[in-house]
Amino acid sequence: MRTVLAKVAKGSAEPLATLLAAPLLGPLAVRAAPALPGDVTAYVTRLRDCNHWGGEDATDAARGRAIAAAVKRLRCDAAEADERTLRRRHRGDPSVLKALDRARDADG
């Protein structure tokens, strides 16, 4: 590994070696996104799952029942009303509103 780091320092390493050695060169400063409230995280996950199941094809009767059961369990029919409630509850938190916008616009 010392050889790879020496080559990286001299600039003669292959691009792949540079990528492999980069994490060893020092910690990167990463700014973490603020955590969302639990109710918002749960809703975003639920909406993603609703979008997924809503896009599934019922190739046979059993598959159709599985899709219907998932949609019912997730309460996908109430997603819009639940989003409105969350938007009212967290109206002063731009990070929540942005997360809700992204979740609504995402594909499943």
| Cβ 76 vs Cβ 54: under 8 Å | yes
Q: State if pTM tops 0.75.
A: no
Q: What share of the chain is helix, strand, coil (3-state, %, to 5)?
A: 70, 0, 30
Number of neighbouring beta carbons within 10 Å of residue 31? 5
- Provide the pLDDT confidence category of residue 24 given band limits of 50, 70 and 90: low
In degrees, rounded to 5, the angle at the alpha carbon of residue 63 between the alpha carbons of residues 62 and 68 is 100
Q: How many CB atoms lie within 10 A of CB 64?
A: 13
Q: What does the pLDDT look like over 29-68, one tens digit per residue? A: 445 556 999 999 999 999 999 999 988 888 999 999 999 9
Check if the beta carbon of residue 46 is closer than 8 Å to that of residue 100.
no
